[in-house]
Amino acid sequence: MKRSLFIIGIAFMLTYLGCSTRTVITAQWQAPEPEAPAYRNLFIASLMDDLQVRQNIENEYENRLANRGVGAIKSLNTFRPGFLEESKPNREQLLEIIQSSKADGILTVTLLDTEEEQRWVPGGPVPMFAPMGRFGFYGTFPGYFDRWYGTAWNTGYYTTDKKYFIETNLYDAESLELVWSAQSRTYNSTDLASIASDYVDAIKKELRENKLIQ
């Protein structure tokens, strides 16, 4: 009995881990300056077509960075929807908008690619054959039925894993030069809008470790 419960527990953990959202940093680069400043106010520009995705990501940055004493100026509060699509603003226009926001850094978020992959999720474990003694549920039909019903119908299923490849760049707001860049992969997520918290946590961790924020 203990062995069966152990197997069920392991199967549950593997299924849970397989379905959870995870973000890994696949590559990153930092400018060679030995003492880059710790930024206190970041202009967050999520350069994506989906308005809901932009809102989720920029809101998540605002909430998570606040925990580190870092301000976040969201592009959605600065650029009205469709502003960038209507006409490409020139360098002077962008510089004026960003400087007026009092940001000292600019963080851009861009979706590079998406991938989908099907995988098989196995069902529950099959009990060992033992009609006498060890498994008491064999002795009565209700016991046998209760034991086997879930196993017989829970034979497994196919699920689709989605992978999102995102590039995050940090620019200095004064020089407009690139300070730090990272590419990340987030997978096992139902949709792009739902990955915000996991993705932002991973980026915030890297920014802290590279002493780019407090």
Neighbours of 50 (CB within 10 A): 14
Q: List the domain boundaries for the chain.
A: 2-119+157-209
In one-letter notation, the amino acid at residue 58 is E
Mean pLDDT of 23-50: 87
Over residues 145-160, the pLDDT tens digits come to 555 555 554 556 677 7
- How would DSSP label each residue in 167-213? EEEEEETTT--EEEEEEEEEES-S-GGGGHHHHHHHHHHHHHHTTS-
Q: What's the CATH class of domain 2-119+157-209?
A: alpha beta
Instruction: Provide the whole-model pTM.
Output: 0.70
pLDDT for 11 equals 43
Rounded CA gap, 90 and 96, in Å? Answer: 10
Which position has the higher pLDDT, 15 or 40?
40
CA atoms within 13 A on the CB side of 7: 11
